[in-house]
């Protein structure tokens, strides 16, 4: 199905082997080759975003203020 938010046009030159791969993948997914390529791009973009989130979480965990408390439940906020 054509989405109305698609405003950019893109031409791609690939080998016969890669095109056959895309045709086979699009047949397996039951979508057009164009929709299959858009899906691959979207999946890759989301995986990069996920890696960035994990990277930021690791940075926060390494900072002294954000270290985990090993299950401590008591706070000494008033002491």
Q: What is the tens place of the pLDDT at every residue in 9-58?
A: 989 999 999 999 999 999 999 999 999 999 999 999 999 999 999 998 88
CB 33 within 8 A of CB 26: yes
Q: Which two tokens stand for residue 39?
A: 């899906």
What value, to the nearest 5°, has the Cα angle with vertex 67 and ends 66 and 73? Answer: 100
The pLDDT assigned to 53 comes to 94
pLDDT band at 65 (very low <50, low <70, confident <90, very high): low
Q: How far apart are CA 12 and CA 44, in angstroms?
A: 17
Residue 72 CB: number of other CB atoms within 10 A? 8
Q: What is the reported pTM?
A: 0.67
More confidently predicted of 58 and 78:
58
């Amino acid at each position: 199905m054509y989405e109305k938010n698609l405003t950019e046009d893109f031409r791609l030159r690939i080998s016969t082997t890669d095109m056959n791969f895309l045709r086979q993948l699009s047949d397996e997914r039951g979508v057009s080759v164009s929709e299959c390529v858009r899906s691959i791009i979207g999946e890759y973009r989301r995986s990069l975003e996920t890696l960035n989130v994990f990277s930021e979480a690791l940075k926060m965990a390494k900072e002294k203020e954000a270290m985990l408390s090993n299950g401590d439940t008591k706070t000494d906020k008033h002491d």
